[in-house]
Amino acid sequence: MSFDLSQVLKEWPYNPHRLIARKFLGDDGVEKIQMRVDLGILQMNYDGRPDGSKPKKSSTLLEYYRKRLKREKSLVLLMEDVQQLRLEAIQYYHRYLSLYHLKDYPGVIRDTRHNLEILKLISRHAAEEDSWAVQQYRPHVLMMHASAKALLQMERNLRNEALETVHQGIRQIKRFYGDVFDLDQPEMSPEVMSLRELQHRITDDSIPEPPEKEVDLEENLELAIYAENFELAARLRDELNRLKDD
């Protein structure tokens, strides 16, 4: 058996100007995805953890730590734990990029939700210096999640719902950049600009943005606490309590 992939790579050339991916059924009967990269091909399972492994006898590392949280009163993620979770998130990142290219929006939503849950786990249970290094990826994941959800809603002719999804994604990203990273102009971030472009593809801006109370207050409260912006956290907590009382 030859280990040389030259012919395979020649038949599926790399294009540096756009992402290339394909979906197929593997010889083992498992649905798979391949992404063409400059030095070869990444192959991933469509379902479950992309590399098909079962870390610590669990479906994913995220699932493993969720089980631990149910058993233990407290959980502390060490630096090596955070690194392993980050590596799992990178696998999901490659897969959701491929799925987005293939217009498999439910798959993108599934995988971006997985990575958002990893970021939440790290922010709550890791040391600040370990958590800070990975939280910078949150805006990109939020942008991809909102984009896929809105495009799926458009496929279902849910135009107003798609607009609401885009607006909510923009607000979440702007709040993160403004309150956590203290960015002067979060509107100019690439993630917000990407969602604005999608917004203009959907509408002529004739539909107003949904009211502030529709923002995901619990996530924004978590970010404010993480950034030690306690004044903002107090306001968000009060607003969240009012909504729950209504």
13, 27, 133, 140 from 227: Cα distances, Å: 45, 48, 13, 19
Model confidence over 10-31: pLDDT tens digits? Answer: 999 998 888 899 999 999 999 9
Q: To the nearest whole percent, how much of the chain has pLDDT over 70?
A: 80
Q: Give the predicted TM-score (pTM) of the model.
A: 0.80
- What backbone torsions phi and psi does residue 126 show, to the nearest 5 degrees? -110, 160
Q: Are residues 55 and 64 in contact, defined by beta-carbon separation less than 8 angstroms? A: yes
Model confidence over 158-191: pLDDT tens digits? Answer: 999 999 999 999 999 988 887 666 666 777 888 9
CA atoms lying within 13 Å on the CB side of residue 216: 19
- Which residues are 32's β-sheet partners? 24, 45
